Chain A
Amino acid sequence: MSDKFISFEGVAKRHPAPGGGMLTVFEDLWLAVRRGEFVCVIGHSGCGKTTIVNILAGLEAPSAGTVIANGRAIDGPGLDRAVIFPSHGLLPWRTVMGNIAYAVASKWPRWSGPQIRAHAGKFVDLVGLRGAEHKRPAELAAAIKQRAGIARALAIEPKILLMDEPFSGLDPLSRGALQEDVRRLCLATGQTAFLVTQDVDEAIYLADRVVLMTDGPDAILAEIVENPLPRERLRPDILRQPLYYAMRGHIVDFLVTRSRTFLAEVGRQLDPRHVPVVRPRVRDSAQAAASSAVRRGVIHTSKQMS
């Protein structure tokens, strides 16, 4: 059960193409996420990352296949899943507290005003927004706004936390601080989290497993990279770990070259239900730029949860 807390089963997304016919964004996607796991999807623009997270959120319907979350097929948005939007998505006419309280009141409509405010206040404290809770989004810096967006998402105590490039609009320093907060909060509560990003370092720091997508259209899930870094990790520390470079080299290599050629090289033989699972090792880092023959040694095509 906990093995397949979220399960994508043969999910595809197609759009009508401008010149007639259909454009396939991605096809036959199978992926399972364990309870309490932090999964990042990484890939170039146009591979359908946002679509994947929107399907999981229930905001978009897949063209084929189903997504099962917590034992139930997703057929629309729900309060069991919370979304952190790319540009915070706060309602500008409400204060920070008002935005969080709005979400809390949506989840627990029977709660009284003081009850709602007390609950929302806990999450104001959790993300360190005490003092700014009566300000409106326009009065706050981008990073503070996104902090409020995170508090709003966590305040409904979701079973699954969904993030669509949540830190993309932020300056590097605040981005790092927010990543630390998200990791800390998810770890503390055993939060199942699903994030799509284009930022390799973000994926390595946050994720337990990184899902690599080939370039769209006709994108496929190419590979799952298990994060070899210890679960307790500090952002400044990971840069000193050789494993970090092994991991980074592998992902960057995929994004720079293999995401384009993957389909032609191995895509045909790929079983979409059992995509290769990779766990980068230290000795490979030195050879990160070497040929794919060397790298194949690290791919132990262990069965992905079936």
Chain B
Amino acid sequence: MRERVTAPLAHRAALVSIALVLAFLSFWHLATRGSAPVAIDSESARPPGAPASQRKAVMPGPLDVAEKITWHLQRPFYDDGPHDRGLGTELGTSIARLGAGYLLAALVAIPIGFLIGASPLMGCALDPFIHLLKPISPLAWMPLALTSTNDSGLSSIVVIFIGALWPMLINTTLSVAGVRREWLSVARTLEVGTLRRTFTIILPAAAPAILAGMRISIGMAWIAIVAVEMLVGGTGIGTFLWNAWNELSIADVIIAILVIGIVGMVLDQILARLAQLVTFAE
């Protein structure tokens, strides 16, 4: 057998990926050929007086979607009233909510995780509650959030907070409780105080697992926010998607799905990079 000279795996994989995209787009194009092009302006496309639900949704082709994307890119931040805002504005609102709920969750989950992880008593005492609360879909809290805050924007932040809380809390607790005894012994023999031990031994030792929890959390939060915004309306990428559906603007629905995917991927990659920074080899 002769050794064959081949391009690096990454290059070959990229080629296959591009081929798959082209194949998918071709199939999509052929499957939707002949269907009526979707009107650029969904508002004017609606026949006067006809309710949205009575019109038939038409599956747009890739070229229609591409055209719509160009349209959005040209005016990302326009504002024509509560049901017609630029994609950028809606996305910005969603990301701001995500950031608020997520940071709040981190500020609560990481310190509390440290306390629970460092105290076997609290760890055992709180364990049943964490396991009871963890499997509850963050959306289930929506009515309670709405009742107590009376504000849809604030409620969605509360829901994001709850959705993002558990993975961070559980990972922090486990990683703090699992810091190698030897490293703690090193700190003890060097008479390192509690505060210095927390920041120079426990935090660096637990950081990779904490970041892994934060990465899961941001994915959970991003999934939750789309659903929350579809539920409560108002603003945000979820609302944009739901409005597009109500207007039977399927091209906008497809664009919203694409944008949600891209933002989710970028957020995940940011957290992955951060995790790499604190990861250490043993």
By a beta-carbon cutoff of 8 Å, the part of chain A in contact with chain B is: 57-59, 76-79, 81-83, 85, 87, 89, 91-93, 102-103, 106-107, 136-139, 156
Contacts and interface: CB of A to CB of B under 8 A. Distances in A.
A138 B281 contact: yes
Question: Which one of A76, A82, A102, A138 has the greatest number of beta carbons of chain B within 10 Å?
Answer: A102
B183 interface: yes
Contacts of A87: 182
10 contacts: A58-B189, A59-B189, A77-B190, A79-B189, A91-B204, A92-B281, A103-B190, A137-B282, A138-B280, A138-B282
B192 interface: yes
Contacts of B183: 89, 91
Given A102-B200, A136-B281, A59 B185 contact: yes
B191 interface: yes
B190 A156 contact: yes
A106 B190 contact: yes
Nearest to A76: B188
B135 to A, nearest CB: 34
A79 B192 CA distance: 10
Given A77-B188, A92-B280, A92-B282, 6 more contacts: A58-B189, A59-B185, A59-B188, A87-B182, A91-B186, A102-B200
A77 B204 contact: no
B206 to A, nearest CB: 11
A102 B189 CA distance: 12
Q: How large is the interface on B (under 10, 10 to 19, 20 to 34, 35 or more residues)?
A: 10 to 19
A106 B187 CA distance: 9
A106 B192 CA distance: 6
Given A102-B200, A136-B280, A138-B281, A89 B191 contact: no
B191 A106 contact: yes
A82 B185 CA distance: 11
B201 interface: yes
Secondary structure of the A contact surface, majority rule: loop
A224 B15 CA distance: 74
B202 to A, nearest CB: 11
Interface in B48-72: none
A83 B185 contact: yes
B188 A93 contact: no
A107 B185 CA distance: 15
Given A85-B182, A87-B182, A102-B200, A93 B189 contact: no
A262 B186 CA distance: 36
A157 to B, nearest CB: 13
A85 B189 CA distance: 11
Nearest to A162: B189
Given A83-B185, A89-B182, A102 B280 contact: no
Contacts of B188: 58-59, 76-77
Given A89-B183, A102-B200, A79 B280 contact: no
Contacts of A102: 190, 200
Contacts of B282: 92, 137-138
Contacts of A138: 280-282
